[in-house]
Amino acid sequence: MVATLPEAPTGPGPEAQAKRPLKAKPGQGDRTFLGLTRLSTLIVLAVFAAIGLFLAAKALPAIRVAKLSFLTTQAWQPDIHHFGIAGVLTLTILIALVAVVIAVPISLGLSLFISEVAPQRIKRTLVSLVDLMAAVPSVVYGLWALYFLQGRTIGLSRWLSTWLGWIPIFKVNGASPTNPLESSSLYSASTFVAGIAVSLMVIPILTSVMRESFSQAPLGEREGAYALGSTRWGMIRSVVIPFGKSGIIGGTMLGLGRALGETIVVILIISPVFTANLHILQSGGNSVSFLIANLYGESSSFGISALMAAGLALFALTLVVNFSASAVVARSRSGAESEV
């Protein structure tokens, strides 16, 4: 097409003054195509909205009975109308926090290793290994945690509780370090063991988010740091980590969101309690997903409704965590550039 100049000397008439439309009207094929793609996104959004709606609808009877005490009660006896998620939710968050506290330093080192230190030729293999770590079924991690990890952490748990027991979370009630015949069951089935296993499952998530944001640190700034005589660690500290800070925060929160919902490992490891047991080394913990998986079979219809309410609370919590995580990642310099 020939571009028309706005002040063409040949045609001062009203037709020439009219602005030429720069967008073509989509044809029949395009309209159908765009309509189809929009329809599929609507279906997807409808499914996601339905999750919240159905959970809320089914949870309503229980919430109507419990009202605000649902958020403050530390017990789970729906049949006598004495139930609430205060204890269970606290324990859920505790497991997730233990997992994230273990996972963050490891993922930070691992992602820096992959993006900055590893030779180019093994980089892709390492990235695939991280992805494989994410794809290993959770039952496999659960079996490993139950039959391999648990027995091996008891010594560490006992040592921590003996020497750091004055810190409240490391305290173990009924522990007697001087008693050589002390039962090791005091230290098994604890939040700590479950947290270690869950940390293995969130490490790949944290690592891939962090690695992605680190690898986008601009080459010019990296070379600038080197040109000023920096060592590699100096360059990482002054360029890569500040650049990827929001990737670190966002990845951590995404990992937290994933850890909050982990079910299978918790089912296999934890022995359930319903009051908030803040001693992470001590036997007994809980999580909302465990509560649902454990009790849905033997509950009355009101009990199911109470479980739905717990599920709704978990849903809301993970959504808040995940949305803020993606907002943090997207706001950042690295995230803004990753969006094409």
Partner 1 sequence: MTLLDDPRTSARPTPITSGSTLPPRPTQQRRKLGGIRRDMVFNLVGAAAAAACLSGLLYLLTGLSGGLGLAIIGYVAFLVVYGVLVSIADDGPAVRDAVVTVLMASTAVLAFGALGIVIVFTLIRGWSALVHVNFYTQDMSKAGPLASLKVGGMAHALVGTLWMVGIAVVLTVPIGLVAAVYLDVTRSRPARFFRTVVEAMTALPSILAGLFIYAAWILSFGFQRSGLAASLALSVMMLPYIIRAADLALRLVPGNLREAAAALGAPRWKTEMQVVIPTARSGLATAVILGVARAIGEASPVLLTAGYTTYINANPLNGPMVSLPLLTLKLVQSGVPAYTSRAFGAASFLLVVVIVLFLVARKIGGWGPGHLSPRGLRRVQEASARDVSRFARRRRSDTQPADTAQIPTVGTTR
CB of 31 to partner 1, least distance (A): 9
DSSP state of 85: S
Would you say 202 and 259 are in contact if contact means Cβ atoms under 8 Å apart?
Answer: yes
Which ranges of the chain would DSSP assign to H, the alpha helix? Answer: 14-17, 28-66, 69-72, 86-112, 120-135, 138-144, 150-164, 191-215, 219-227, 232-235, 241-243, 245-261, 264-269, 288-295, 301-331, 333-338
CB of 38 to partner 1, least distance (A): 6
Does 326 sit near partner 1 (CB under 8 A)?
A: yes
3-class secondary structure, 153: helix
CB of 10 to partner 1, least distance (A): 26
Stretch 15-74 residues interacting with partner 1 (CB under 8 A): 26-27, 29-30, 32-34, 36-38, 40-41, 43-45, 47-48, 50-51, 54-55, 57-58
CB of 7 to partner 1, least distance (A): 28
* Contact map string, positions 175 to 204, toward partner 1, x by CB under 8 A: -------------------------x--x-
Stretch 235-274 residues interacting with partner 1 (CB under 8 A): 236, 254, 257-258, 260-264, 267-268
Does 234 sit near partner 1 (CB under 8 A)?
A: yes
Would you say 78 and 299 are in contact if contact means Cβ atoms under 8 Å apart?
Answer: yes
Does 331 sit near partner 1 (CB under 8 A)?
A: no
Q: Which of 91, 98, 210, 314: binder of partner 1 (CB under 8 A)? A: 314
Does 295 sit near partner 1 (CB under 8 A)?
A: no
Does 118 sit near partner 1 (CB under 8 A)?
A: yes
Q: Which of 123, 171, 232, 333: binder of partner 1 (CB under 8 A)? A: 232
Question: 């109470």: which residue's tokens?
Answer: 306
CB of 90 to partner 1, least distance (A): 17
**Left if phi > 0, otherwise alpha if psi is -120 to 50, otherwise beta: which for 231?**
beta
User: For residue 146, what are the CA distances in angstroms to 138, 143, 280?
Assistant: 12, 5, 17
Would you say 95 and 195 are in contact if contact means Cβ atoms under 8 Å apart?
Answer: yes
CB of 213 to partner 1, least distance (A): 14
Q: Which of 63, 112, 194, 269: binder of partner 1 (CB under 8 A)? A: 112
Structure tokens, 65:
């009975």
CB of 44 to partner 1, least distance (A): 5
Q: Which of 140, 164, 278, 336: binder of partner 1 (CB under 8 A)? A: 140
User: Helix 245-261 and helix 86-112: axis angle, to 10°?
Assistant: 140
Q: Across the strands, what pairs with 190? A: 283
Does 132 sit near partner 1 (CB under 8 A)?
A: yes
Does 300 sit near partner 1 (CB under 8 A)?
A: no
- Among residues 254, 290, 262, which one has the least CA distance to residue 141? 262
CB of 330 to partner 1, least distance (A): 7
